[in-house]
Structure 1
Amino acid sequence: MKSQDFPATIPQAIDDAPSPNEAQINQAIPSKGGSKSEMDDSVLLRRATRWLVILGATMFGAVFLVSAAFTIYSQSWVVELAREHFAATVGLPFAALAALCLVIILEISSGTIQIKGLGFEFKGAGGPLVMWIFCFLAIASAIKILW
């Protein structure tokens, strides 16, 4: 090879090199099974679904309280039941709702939930499910201890 085949300096070699176009760059980058717009749509759909679940849980709580107040006003036996078993009739449904909202808010703020410990590992849909069970049991235990 002749010395004139090589560029005199490194900057000259960079300037002389052809720049890749976007199609070449996209071919070189491995894909996770979808285009960028499909992945953005998936993330957007997940966020929207989570916020809809929180909104639905809030609406459920509001409807529950309004219907409970109306029933208590119109049916005297419900008052007795609610007084005697308040933790079971009101506390546990709201504990389930609180655990759901807690898991969703944690997932929104920190990403997917993965639980590892004592020889087991939960990923995907199993992580939030196990986290909900732990949260619900903790809240229900607190209700039992404090009631």
Structure 2
Amino acid sequence: MSEEQKDAGVTTDESHSIRLRAVISWVVVIILICFGAFMLYKLTNFHNTPGDYWKIMVKEQFPVLVGLPMAGLGSLFVTLILRISTGPIEFEIGGLKFKGGAAPIVFWIICFMVIVLSINLLWQN
């Protein structure tokens, strides 16, 4: 146990729990990156499927089929990286304080909505 943890009164079990959470968070981040890269790769190879259904669907509904899932993954990525780098997320918006389990969920929703709004504003029909 480090001197900082001893000074903060962190027990060995809490230290292991904190370390385990950090490792699992990084594993999830790596899995998200791999999954996103794999899906982009599969998207570029959809022309190998028989028929034109997926080609037409992806061309017409690209923001929905690709943008929304990637917005969700991107929001989760930002939320996890923030938690890993700074610890538990706590913030206040307009007098409402978010901490504990609610803060990451609300932060994810805010990130997701901002990315979706950006896709909507920037997508040209």
- For normalisation by structure 1, the TM-score amounts to 0.71
**1:97 and 2:95 matched:** no
Give ranges in structure 2 of 5+ residues lacking alignment: 1-5
Runs of 4+ in 1 over 4 A off after TM superposition: none
Taking the TM superposition and a 5 Å limit, the aligned residue runs for 1:113-128 are: 113-128=89-104
State the distance in 2 between where 1:59 and 1:131 align. Answer: 23
Match of 2:88 in 1: 112
**More relative contact order, 1 or 2 (CA 8 Å, 6+ apart):** 2
2:26 paired with 1:51? yes
Equivalent position of 1:69 in the other structure: 44
* Amino acid in the other structure paired with 1:116: E
Q: Structure 1 residues 121, 99: closer, same or farther in 2, change over 3 A?
A: same
Q: Report the alpha carbon displacement of residue 52 of structure 1 after superposing the two structures with TM.
A: 1.1
Q: TM-score, normalised by structure 2?
A: 0.83
Counterpart amino acid of 1:128? P
Aligned to 2:112: 136
Displacement of 1:30 in angstroms is 9.7
One-letter amino acid matched to 1:42: S
Q: Distance in 2 between matches of 1:30 and 1:119?
A: 30
Larger Rg: 1
2:92 alignment partner, SS class = strand
1: distance between equivalents of 2:73 and 2:25? 14
Query: What one-letter code is carried by the residue in structure 2 that aligns with 1:40?
Result: S
Aligned residues: 117
Percentage identity across paired residues of the two chains: 32
Deviations 1:93-116 (A, max 9, x none): 101101100111111111111122
The one-letter code sitting in structure 2 at the alignment partner of 1:104 is L
SS of the residue 2:97 aligns to = strand
Map of 1:88 onto structure 2: 64
The amino acid across from 1:52 in the alignment is V
Aligned partner of 1:42 in structure 2 is 17
